[in-house]
Each structure stands twice: as C-alpha cells, then as structure tokens.
Structure 1
Amino acid sequence: MVNEQRLHSMIKIAKFDANDGKRCKPMIQYARKDYVALQLLKSFVVGTIAFFMMLGLWVLYSMDALMEQINKMDFVKAATTLGLLYGIFMVIYLLATYIIFNMKYTYGRKKVKKYYAGLKKISAMYLREERLKGNGNKDWD
C-alpha cells in the first residue's frame, strides 16, 4: 500500500531537486562569506570588462570631438577622471553584487533547510514503517 503523505513529501523533494537544487547547491558547499566573496571576485572581473567596453564605445562615439581636442587635452586630468569614474562604477557595482548575493544566499539557505527537513520527515516515515513491519512479523511468529 502506498503511503500518500510520504509520496507527497517525496514529490516536493523531487521538485526541489529539479528546479532549485542546482541553484541552491553553492549554499551547501560554501559558507556565506566564501560564497559572497567568490561572487564579488567574479563581479570585479565582469565589471572591469564592462566598464572598459563602455569606455571604448564612448571613445568610438566621441571620436570626432576627441580628435579635435587631442592637442589641448590634459591627459593627467583625463586619467584621474577616468580612474575616479572607474572607482565609483566599481563601488556601486560591487555593493549591488554584495547585497544581491547575500540575499540569494539567505533565501537559498532557507530552501535547503526545508529540503533537509523534508528528507528527515521521509526518513522518519520509513523508520516508522519498518518498526511497524518488524513488530507485526514478531507477533505472527
């Protein structure tokens, strides 16, 4: 006979494995600090590439104006401004990354706790059934 409550719990566990299991796997493997640090490192690389791609697009867009002013341009001031813009961009980008992935870790951790609670519930059901079957067999012997 099929235990409907156990079947329902197993379906919930299977849905988690299929849908959220891969996304929540890092929440099992890493501590919060390590997970967020890894994401910050990735974001630093991606943010740097994105900033310089946007800078390249801006240079291409403003090529006529830049060529006209190239002899009058103060390169130290331009480099300082560019460095300041890069710093501001990265601070905002990394702060957003920190907040987002900290929230994702917290949310994923809650889901993993529910997953493990479901596994414990299923295990307890199996143990209870085994005990009942064990006691039932002893009565008939």
Structure 2
Amino acid sequence: MISKERVRHMTKLSEFENEESKACQKATQYFRRDYVAMELIKSFFAGTIAFGLLFVLWLFYDMENLVKKINDMDMIGFGIRIVMVYLVFLAAYLMITYIIYNRRYTKGRKKVKEYYNRLKRVSSLYREEENISNTDDWEV
C-alpha cells in the first residue's frame, strides 16, 4: 500500500537532491571556520583583482587630469591614498564575504539536517510497513 506521508517525504528528499544538494555539499564537508576561511582566501584574491581592474579603469578615465598634474603631484601621498582605499575596499569586501558565507554555511547545515531527518522518517515508515505486512502473514 502506498503511504501518502512516505511519498510526501520522498518527494521532498528528491527535490533536495536535485536542487540544493550541490550547494549544501561544501557545508557538510568542512567545519564552519574552515569553510569561511577558504571562501575568504578566494575573496581576497578576487577582491584584489577587482580593485586592480577598477583602478586601471579609473586611470584611463582620468588620464587627462593625471597627465596635467603629474609633475606637481606628491607621488608618495598618492600611493598612500591608493593603498588606503585598497585596504578599505578589501576590508568591506571581506566583511561582506564573511557574513554571506557564514549564513550559507548555517543554512546549508540546517537543510542537510532536515534531509537526514526526512531520511530517518522514511526509513521508519518502511520499517513500520514491513512490520505490519509481516504480522499480516502470520494471521492467515
């Protein structure tokens, strides 16, 4: 006999496996701090590249003013300002990365826990059904 509750649980399990399992897989493979640290390292390099590209674009955009002021410009002060802007940009970028991946880890672990609880429930429903069918065989 088909159990509606078991079908409902199995449908939810299938949805999880098809849609969300890949996203949650990393959350189950690592501890929280390892997962977040790995993403912070990736974001450090991505943020550095993004800042470099933005800086080059700004240089091309403001090339005319830079050429006019290059002889009168304090290069050390200019370099220090660029480094300070880079550090602020990177700190903000890494803070956002930390918040996002910390939440993803928490949500992923929660979804995986729900998945395993559903698996246990389906397994118990199968065992209950087996026990019922085994007792029916003896009553004949």
Does the TM-score normalized on the shorter chain lie above 0.5? yes
Aligned to 2:128: 128
Q: Structure 1: which 5+ runs fail to align?
A: none
Q: How far does residue 139 in structure 1 lie from its aligned partner after superposition?
A: 3.8
Instruction: Point out the more displaced range, 87-96 or 128-137.
Output: 128-137
The residue identity in structure 2 corresponding to 1:4 is: K
Aligned to 1:57: 57
Aligned to 1:45: 45
User: In structure 1, how many angstroms separate the alpha carbons of the residues matched to 2:29 and 2:120?
Assistant: 20
- Identity, % of aligned pairs? 41
TM-score, normalization: structure 1? Answer: 0.93
Paired residues in the alignment total 140
Aligned to 2:75: 75
User: In structure 2, how many angstroms separate the alpha carbons of the residues matched to 1:59 and 1:28?
Assistant: 44
Matched, 1:88 2:97: no
Q: Deviations over 1:68-118 (max 9, x none)?
A: 111122211111111111111111110111011111111121111111110
TM-score, normalization: structure 2? Answer: 0.94
Aligned to 2:112: 112
The CA RMSD measured in Å over matched residues stands at 1.2
User: In structure 1, how many angstroms separate the alpha carbons of the residues matched to 2:79 and 2:41?
Assistant: 25
Q: How far does residue 58 in structure 1 lie from its aligned partner after superposition?
A: 0.3
The residue identity in structure 2 corresponding to 1:9 is: H
Matched, 1:36 2:6: no
Instruction: Point out the more displaced range, 113-122 or 69-78.
Output: 69-78
User: In structure 1, how many angstroms separate the alpha carbons of the residues matched to 2:38 and 2:138?
Assistant: 56
Secondary structure of 1:94's aligned partner: helix
Q: Deviations over 1:33-59 (max 9, x none)?
A: 111111111111110010010000000
The residue identity in structure 2 corresponding to 1:136 is: D
Aligned to 2:97: 97
Aligned to 1:17: 17
User: In structure 1, how many angstroms separate the alpha carbons of the residues matched to 2:8 and 2:17?
Assistant: 14
